């Protein structure tokens, strides 16, 4: 159940540029306004910048604007840069469109999704390794952190590779178990 939930979160992060406009951002800002008005205004500033950058990115949604700041928003008269990019999702989506966004975030999200899929064939009574489950949780937390922050590191790809190895091992164990059941039925 936990791995399925983590897989769902990974899918939501992959779809984030498409579903962001459906989030109740004003309610989130209002909630934090009661707790800390300075932080709430900072959050609203970030949301406003993301709205500008997302609008710009949607002008070239498939392949993006490329590098050299073409994904940013500039004042048409003065040429001043009006945008502040904070999250890895908006940087990747604006620069490289859906293709680059899914390539980057997909490399981090896919191992968790693959592990959840491989668990369907796992019918062994032994519990799963707590280390693999912990790595899945770490990777999902890292994925969530890429929405407000831009800190993609190679460590996430290393963790993803370890999880993919576990997913492959699970699917092979499931195939062996199915072959044994089939052999029993045929004999």
pLDDT along the chain (187 residues), means of 10: 88 90 86 87 87 89 88 87 84 91 91 87 65 90 86 86 86 66 64
pTM for this prediction:
0.78
Kindly compute the dihedral angle of the four CA atoms of residues 117, 120, 126, 130, in this order, to the nearest 10 degrees.
20
The pLDDT value recorded for residue 1 is 80
Query: Shortest CA distance to 131 belongs to which of 98, 159, 89?
Result: 159
Domain locations in the chain?
Answer: 2-186
Query: Shortest CA distance to 140 belongs to which of 116, 115, 112, 118?
Result: 112
CB atoms within 10 A of CB 63: 12
> Which ranges in 15-129 belong to alpha helices (H)?
16-19, 25-35, 37-57, 88-118
The pLDDT value recorded for residue 116 is 87
The pLDDT value recorded for residue 186 is 64
The pLDDT value recorded for residue 138 is 92
């Amino acid at each position: 159940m936990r791995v399925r939930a983590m897989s769902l979160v990974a899918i939501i992060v992959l779809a984030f540029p498409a579903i962001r406009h459906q989030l109740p951002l004003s309610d989130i800002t209002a909630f934090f306004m009661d707790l800390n008005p300075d932080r709430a205004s900072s959050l609203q500033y970030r949301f406003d910048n993301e709205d500008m950058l997302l609008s710009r990115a949607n002008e070239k949604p498939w392949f993006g604007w490329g590098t050299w700041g073409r994904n940013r928003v500039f004042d048409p008269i003065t040429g001043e840069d009006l945008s502040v990019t904070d999250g890895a999702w908006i940087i990747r989506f604006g620069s490289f469109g859906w293709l680059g966004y899914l390539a980057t975030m997909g490399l981090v999200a896919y191992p968790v999704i693959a592990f959840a899929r491989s668990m369907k064939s796992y019918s062994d009574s032994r519990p799963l390794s707590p280390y693999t489950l912990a790595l899945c949780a770490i990777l999902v937390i890292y994925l969530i952190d890429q929405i407000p922050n831009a800190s993609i590191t190679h460590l996430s790809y290393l963790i993803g590779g370890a999880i993919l190895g576990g997913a492959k091992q699970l699917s092979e164990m499931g195939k062996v178990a199915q072959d044994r059941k089939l052999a029993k039925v045929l004999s």
